[in-house]
Amino acid sequence: MNEPLQNIVEPLLHWFDSNKRDLPWRRDTEPYHVWISEIMLQQTRIEAVMRYYARFMEALPDIRSLSEVDDDRLLKLWEGLGYYSRARNLKKAAVAVMNDHAGQFPNTFTKLKKLPGIGEYTAGAIASICFDEKVAAVDGNVLRVIARIQGSRENVLLPQTKKVFSEELTKIMPRHSGAFNEALMELGELICLPNGTPLCSACPLRSCCTAYRENLTAEIPVRVKKLKRSRKDLTVLVLLTPDGRIAIEKRPDTGLLSGMYQLPNIEGFYTENELFTILQDWHLSPKTIRFLKDAKHVFTHIDWCMKGYTAEITEPSGRFLWVTEHQLSAAYPLPTAFRKITD
């Protein structure tokens, strides 16, 4: 199986040299830049990451500034990217680098994996791109490319499949390991597309691709999910004072969206009459309550189904933090789930 895989190295590197995109984090091999971009790119499209990356680097240009940033400021910079534990782990890792490595990024795959939030893929990307270590960096794009090249029907969602592919790629890793890993990712993003629609006519590897040769690109890679999703119904409240301030509150320090701010909400669906009673129990005096919209937000393991209402409150209570629209936009990280109601 390794022998035909060896044949992809030269054509892939040649293709990448002529076709790689000019991305901000590719303009140097500074580990801080590569690290931030790789974490941002998890579960997020490159087009969306571009503006977040520029804003993040302007605010936190180096690892020291990241290690010292206020948590609310950090989450505000991350707002909209989702998976907020990624941002918290960035700061934890930055603190570890400052305290345990004298501010210098660890330069091996093994040491990188010990930092909070850095798994095998991210460690492989940093180690190969920044330090030329011959180690694979296998993400979903790479899994798809290799599965099609080899005609593999192994479930690419299984850790064992990823482990095997990583071992096979490590065996054929060229001297320019960073370029090779980036080339595989780039091919998966631009050419070897998911859902059975790859651009095979433009692929530099089609001559050695089993899925192309046997017309199996619609069937490979095999992805068998065993995850059972759950659903949570929420009534979400946009509480407004006469001078335009809006009620928010901080979420618990643990669990989903921990440490973020949220709109007041109650599990379950409620009528306007029921909400009048609830607000009075909260020592609020609503003048009006009206339905805003239905919205849904999909997390990894759970769907939030939300009914949004707005209420004009005559006097704010101390139960919530009351902020202006500008303050909410500038200083308080509000998850995208709740912005689907305010928008």
Q: How far apart are CA 96 and CA 90, in angstroms?
A: 10
pLDDT at position 225: 76
What is the model's pTM? Answer: 0.75
CA nearest to 123, candidates 72, 169, 181, 75: 181
pLDDT digits (tens, 9 = 90+) for 153-181: 999 999 999 999 999 999 999 999 999 99
Who has greater pLDDT, 343 or 273?
273
CA nearest to 150, candidates 7, 11, 16: 7
Mean pLDDT (whole number) for 53-57: 95
User: For the packed helices 85-100 and 71-78, what is the interaxial angle rounded to 10 degrees?
Assistant: 130
pLDDT digits (tens, 9 = 90+) for 119-145: 999 999 999 999 999 999 999 999 999
3-class DSSP string for the chain: CHHHHHCCHHHHHHHHHHHCCCCHHHCCCCHHHHHHHHHHHCCCCHHHHHHHHHHHHHHCCCHHHHHHCCHHHHHHHHCCCCCCHHHHHHHHHHHHHHHHCCCCCCCCHHHHCCCCCCCHHHHHHHHHHHHCCCCCCCCHHHHHHHHHHHCCCCECCCHHHHHHHHHHHHHCCCCCHHHHHHHHHHHHHHCCCCCCCCCHHHCCCHHHCHHHHCCCCCCCCECCCCCCCEEEEEEEEEEECCCCCEEEEECCCCCCCCCCEECCEEECCCCHHHHHHHHHHCCCCEEEEEEEEEEEEECCCEEEEEEEEEEEECCCCCCCEEECHHHHHHHCCCCHHHHHHHC
Catalytic annotation, residues: 38
Q: How far apart are CA 313 and CA 244, in angstroms?
A: 10
Mean pLDDT (whole number) for 224-229: 74
Which residues have CB under 8 Å from 98's CB, separation 6+?
63, 64, 67
pLDDT at position 2: 40
pLDDT at position 42: 86
Joined together, the tokens standing for residue 260 give 């973020």
pLDDT digits (tens, 9 = 90+) for 182-222: 999 999 999 999 987 899 999 999 999 999 999 999 999 99
Q: Place 227 in a pLDDT band, splitting at 50, 70 and 90.
A: low
Mean pLDDT (whole number) for 8-32: 94
Q: How far apart are CA 324 and CA 320, in angstroms?
A: 13
Largest CA distance in the chain: 74
* Rg, Å, the chain Cα set: 24
CA nearest to 9, candidates 146, 198, 196: 146
pLDDT at position 195: 82
pLDDT at position 189: 92
Q: Mean pLDDT for the chain?
A: 92
Mean pLDDT (whole number) for 40-69: 92
Contact 310, 290 (CB under 8 A): yes
Between the CA of residue 295 and those of 48, 235, 251, 306, 308, what are the distances in Å?
A: 22, 10, 20, 5, 8
Q: Which domains does the chain have, with CATH numbers?
A: 2-136+169-189 (1.10.340.30), 230-342 (3.90.79.10)
pLDDT at position 316: 86
Q: How far apart are CA 173 and CA 180, in angstroms?
A: 7
Q: Place 5 in a pLDDT band, splitting at 50, 70 and 90.
A: confident
Res. 152: pLDDT tops 60: yes
Residue 304: beta bridge partners? 232, 297
Q: Place 1 in a pLDDT band, splitting at 50, 70 and 90.
A: very low
pLDDT at position 300: 82
pLDDT at position 337: 94
Q: How far apart are CA 146 and CA 5, in angstroms?
A: 8
Q: Place 3 in a pLDDT band, splitting at 50, 70 and 90.
A: very low
pLDDT at position 175: 93
Res. 252: pLDDT tops 50: yes
